[in-house]
Amino acid sequence: MESFYLAILLFIFITAIFDIMVGVSNDAVNFLNSAVGSKAAPFKMVMTIAAIGIFIGASLSNGMMDIARHGIYQPQNFYFEEILFICLAVMMTDIILLDTFNSLGLPTSTTVSMVFELLGATFAISLLKIQQDPLLSMGDLINTDKALSVIIAIFLSVAIAFTFGTIVQYIARLVFTFNYEKRMKYSIGLFGGIAATSIIYFMLIKGLKDSSFMTPDNKEWLQEHTMAIVSWCFIGFTLLMQFLHWIKINVFKVIVLMGTFALALAFAGNDLVNFIGVPMASYSAYTDYVANIPAGATPDTFLMTSLTGSASTPWYFLVGAGAVMVYALFTSKKAHRVIKTSVDLSRQDEGDELFGSTPMARTLVRMSLNVSTNVANLIPEGMKRWADSRFRKDEAIIANGAAFDLVRASVNLVIAGLLIALGTSWKLPLSTTYVTFMVAMGSSLADRAWGRDSAVFRITGVLSVVGGWFLTAGSAFVLCFLVALLIHFGGIVSIVALTALGITLLIRSQMRFRRKQQEQQEKETTTALQLRITSDPQELLFYMRKYTRERLCHLFIFVENNFEKLIDSFFTENLRGLRQVKGSIKLEKKLLKQVRREGIAYLSRMDTNVLIEKGLFYHQGIDFATDMVVALNNICEPALEHIDNNFAPLLQSQKNEFRTVTERVLKLIQSCREKLVANEYDEMREDIRAATVLNNQLAAIKREEFRRVRSQNNSIKISLVYLTILQETQNIVNYTINSLKIAVRFQSEEDEEE
């Protein structure tokens, strides 16, 4: 029987490797967001510094392992088999849950997922134990105080981090403004001293206090001399930072890189328990059980009293985990996607908003505007003018392609570090994910990055991410509860089945993520990237013209393919094909909304004269593009309803006459698209004439169909659907030509010369 439990242990360790890689994909945003978002250094250098911090932190980690040994459950009241089943349920649930969130590009908390998974599995096994032994109570089996402290810490950390991030960033911006290089003469030394001292304090208190080399004597000495260390560090770093400024070294970059190293070190040193804490607990349980087999220990009678002691993790496990974490950091594409989500939500300018608008976000924006208006009325005009002068974004010193400047990046890292250190000193199990993300959101709000035109999208994004955190807790608890019950009642069969299911879900998740990456790469054209990083007005106009051609070509291809599929599916009564077209139309509508937002953001950065001349054409072009998709939808809905209800089909003569129309419509759209691709419009008059002929043909068919209806030679239901198709096809023809005309006006230089 020992071989069976050994196999479970090996599976737990294998899943731990995947869990580390998935977890790093999720938590990389915690320590990379500020450095990557501000472009404080080349990406490879940032990654290298973070990797060094991760490896050192993981290699020195040990003390936090106790939470997986006796932080949630009371091991002295559980048998070896029960503990192993709890650990197995946690690992199987954790890897799927985290991978799902990462595939969606949403940061979540590995701490919360592990704690609530442990809580869910323990709760399931505890219910069974209480049923068998009424003398036991839930308090004898579950450490309820720890679970409650985690929940309270979640609410507190979200609110406190956002508030402090907002306040400190606002003060920092008043001091340094966006043109910070002119106001660094002496204040930078003091700021650098405070920031660097905070980071060192953070590393000592949060990052290394529970490390494997920290003996009780070292901890006592550190605690006794903390104030002296902090004081001397402040003096030394203040002088050092001032000297670095005098020799033309950017102090903000130094602070950002120091903070990145410190957060990476603390992440690995303290959050490593989220990835290997459960496997190490199961390893300790197994070794203790095997050692007691000669004394008559059995899996269902041997209590795990040994887990009540502190962990002593072998160094090779820590070093190996650190190596896997570094490998995952450099190779995970999902890590880059999660970083992008956080950076985009906190960037200074507007652009491609990842999230749409929700009723709650719109309500919050309206409430905030009302509050800010009332507060502004109480502030003297002189003070408001002075504050506004400190927030001139046109003077911002932001690296090419960066989301925000170095001042905000420094504040993000320092405040996040201090809050986590403060929470640790109060014994609160704060999540690095919660704190770093909400500080970044607060600082972006203080920097007035959430303008009237982007606030609703940013708030929607924040609500989505925060909601994802709480969803993690509920999902982790419920899923792990069910998995633990299945393992308990199903035994070997359920373990094998769940293992196979977990592997299948992971493979599907990876395949789905790759497909999404390909779709994103198709969407994220070189032109769009150039538009984001270009600031020259002429280049902006050049790439904007190219961008509109690419988007319109994509739309023509979409309409061409889906119009043909729609008509063919309706004629052949293919319900599945009609539903697929309906789904494609829904996605295309969302894409057009996003294209409109992108275009407005890009146009707003152009020269005012060009904006006035070309902005209207862009809006008209988007309107016609939207109308084309709406016309397609107006054909699809009645056709889908008609086929879904199994009503009478079109007459064969009607099908034959409209097939000719379909071919001409497709030929017209294709001809217009070819002109856009070549950017040559000399023969556009031929397309206009072809559209006129098509409209006349469609009008004649409509008159004939009205004659059929009056003579009652056809079903009224199918005639109404057919008339709708004819009318909306005319609209598609007109919108296609109008889109091409507007595109020519937008591409032309004549309006500017006039």
User: Over 90: is that where the pLDDT of 235 sits?
Assistant: yes
pLDDT tens string 516-557: 656 555 555 566 666 666 667 777 788 888 888 888 898 999
Region 108-127: mean pLDDT is 84
Q: Report residue 436 CA to chain centroid gap.
A: 14
For residues 426 and 292, state if they share a domain.
yes
**What are the Cα distances from residue 544, in Å, to 523, 553, 601, 622?**
15, 14, 11, 13
For residues 655 and 687, state if they share a domain.
yes
Q: How far apart are CA 124 and CA 115, in angstroms?
A: 14
The residue among 729 and 604 whose pLDDT is bigger is 729
Structure tokens at 218: 């070292």
Q: How far apart are CA 436 and CA 446, in angstroms?
A: 15
For residues 503 and 622, state if they share a domain.
no
Which CATH number characterizes residue 610's domain? 1.20.58.220
User: Residue 469 has what pLDDT?
Assistant: 67
For residues 456 and 313, state if they share a domain.
yes
What percentage of the chain carries pLDDT values higher than 70? 78
Q: How far apart are CA 113 and CA 121, in angstroms?
A: 12
Q: Specify the 3-state DSSP secondary structure of 73.
A: strand
Q: Among 481, 497, 518, identify where a domain stops.
A: 518
User: Over 80: is that where the pLDDT of 87 sits?
Assistant: yes
User: Over 90: is that where the pLDDT of 561 sits?
Assistant: yes
- In the structure, what pLDDT confidence band is assigned to residue 753 with cuts at 50, 70 and 90? very low
The answer to whether residue 721 sits within a structural domain is yes
CB 34 within 8 A of CB 257: no
- In the structure, what pLDDT confidence band is assigned to residue 432 with cuts at 50, 70 and 90? confident
Which residues have a Cβ under 8 Å from the Cβ of 645 and sit 6 or more positions away?
Answer: none
pLDDT tens string 673-703: 998 888 888 888 899 999 999 999 999 998 8
What domain count does the chain have? 2
When mean pLDDT is compared across 307-316, 475-484, 559-568, 738-747, the lowest value belongs to 307-316
Is the Cα dihedral 19, 22, 27, 32 positive or negative?
Answer: positive
User: Residue 726 has what pLDDT?
Assistant: 92
Q: Among 518, 538, 566, identify where a domain stops.
A: 518
For residues 498 and 533, state if they share a domain.
no
**What are the Cα distances from residue 222, in Å, to 53, 95, 214?**
21, 37, 10
The answer to whether residue 349 sits within a structural domain is no
For residues 483 and 532, state if they share a domain.
no
For residues 365 and 453, state if they share a domain.
yes
- Cα torsion for 69, 70, 75, 81, to the nearest 10°? -30
CB atoms closer than 10 angstroms to residue 512: 12
User: Over 60: is that where the pLDDT of 514 sits?
Assistant: yes
User: Residue 206 has what pLDDT?
Assistant: 57
Region 98-104: mean pLDDT is 66
Nearest to 207 by CA among 222, 192, 193: 222
The answer to whether residue 470 sits within a structural domain is yes
User: Residue 749 has what pLDDT?
Assistant: 64
Is the Cα dihedral 71, 73, 77, 81 positive or negative?
Answer: negative
For residues 626 and 597, state if they share a domain.
yes
> Dmax of the chain from CA atoms?
102
| Domain, as residue range, for 497 | 2-344+355-518
Q: Among 518, 546, 573, identify where a domain stops.
A: 518
User: Residue 452 has what pLDDT?
Assistant: 56
pLDDT tens string 132-185: 888 888 888 888 776 677 667 767 777 888 888 888 888 888 888 888 777 777
The residue among 506 and 32 whose pLDDT is bigger is 32
Q: Give the DSSP letter of residue 136.
A: -
When mean pLDDT is compared across 17-21, 118-122, 194-198, 304-308, the lowest value belongs to 17-21
Q: How far apart are CA 649 and CA 573, in angstroms?
A: 8
Nearest to 280 by CA among 87, 118, 124: 87
pLDDT tens string 238-279: 999 999 989 888 888 898 888 888 878 777 766 777 778 888
- In the structure, what pLDDT confidence band is assigned to residue 752 with cuts at 50, 70 and 90? very low
The residue among 500 and 607 whose pLDDT is bigger is 500
CB atoms closer than 10 angstroms to residue 572: 12
The residue among 213 and 97 whose pLDDT is bigger is 97
The answer to whether residue 350 sits within a structural domain is no
Structure tokens at 733: 């023809």
User: Residue 754 has what pLDDT?
Assistant: 37
Residue 430, sorted as left (phi over 0), alpha (psi -120 to 50) or beta, turns out to be beta
pTM to 2 decimals?
A: 0.65
Q: How far apart are CA 403 and CA 443, in angstroms?
A: 13
Is the Cα dihedral 705, 707, 712, 717 positive or negative?
Answer: positive
The residue among 343 and 716 whose pLDDT is bigger is 716
Nearest to 440 by CA among 466, 421, 474: 466
pLDDT tens string 391-417: 787 777 777 666 677 888 888 888 887
Q: How far apart are CA 521 and CA 743, in angstroms?
A: 25
Residue 661, sorted as left (phi over 0), alpha (psi -120 to 50) or beta, turns out to be alpha
User: Over 60: is that where the pLDDT of 357 sits?
Assistant: no
Q: How far apart are CA 414 and CA 226, in angstroms?
A: 18
Structure tokens at 626: 């939207």
